[in-house]
Amino acid sequence: MPAKVFVITGPSGVGKGTLIRTLRERMPELELAVSATTRRPRLGETQGVHYHFLDEAEFLRRIEAGDFVEHAEYSGRRYGTLRSELDKRIAEGHSVVLEIEVQGARQIAQTMPEAVRIFIAPPDERTLLNRLIGRDTDTREEIDRRLQVAKSELAAQDEFSHVVVNDRLDDAIDELQRVVSRM
């Protein structure tokens, strides 16, 4: 299969990370793109392995230079995907998976129209709420905010050529693998 970029997106709590991790276990030839960020490294994180850590000025300079295929600001920090990160892997013949927010996936539709964009959807909003609560990582206010953002993101799923509903994990991963394998 020729090297491709697979953009996987969907609302917070839908299970993108779990699906991607399982997909990569089944298809180890897929590589995960290393994002750039302005946040400081956490204990154990390595430059170029976990993230490309850039200061604010460098990040902004690289935006101006057109170095990002997508970028966004979350919680006062900037995150993005460098075109060079993708180009290098594609040139080496490796397909790449990006786990990004809907906003970034929309940017990639403009900057890399050849990328395969896949939307992960919950079976319903109640299930998504239960998953957000079950993660036990956010306050109720944060969960409510994530759910409001999720509602607008769910409305965007028609913009994607592939939608995988994550109701039962095994079925969702099978469908995701089918999509990636036939591209």
Q: Which of 88, 118, 173 is nearest to 7 (CA)?
A: 118
The rounded radius of gyration (Å) of the Cα atoms in the chain is 16
Find where tokens 């900057």 sit. 111
Q: Could you read off the pLDDT of 84-106 as tens digits, one per residue?
A: 999 999 999 999 999 988 889 99
What's the confidence (pLDDT) of residue 127? Answer: 83
Question: What does the DSSP 8-state code read for residue 124?
Answer: S
Q: Is the pLDDT of residue 125 over 90?
A: no
Count Cβ atoms within 10 A of the Cβ of residue 126 and give its class: 0-12 exposed, 13-18 middle, 19 or more buried. exposed
Question: What does the DSSP 8-state code read for residue 119?
Answer: E
Q: Give the span between the Cα atoms of 69 and 109, in whole angstroms.
A: 9
Q: Report the DSSP pairing between strands 96-99 and 116-121.
A: unpaired
Mean pLDDT, residues 55-80 taken together: 92
Q: Identify whether the C-beta of residue 166 lies closer than 8 Å to the C-beta of residue 122.
A: yes
Instruction: Report helix, strand or coil for 183.
Output: coil
Q: Which of 159, 132, 135, 155 is nearest to 145 (CA)?
A: 132
Mean pLDDT, residues 51-62 taken together: 96
Higher per-residue confidence, 109 vs 138: 109
Question: What does the DSSP 8-state code read for residue 67?
Answer: -
- pTM (2 decimals)? 0.85
Q: What angle do CA 9, 102, 134 make, to 5 degrees?
A: 60
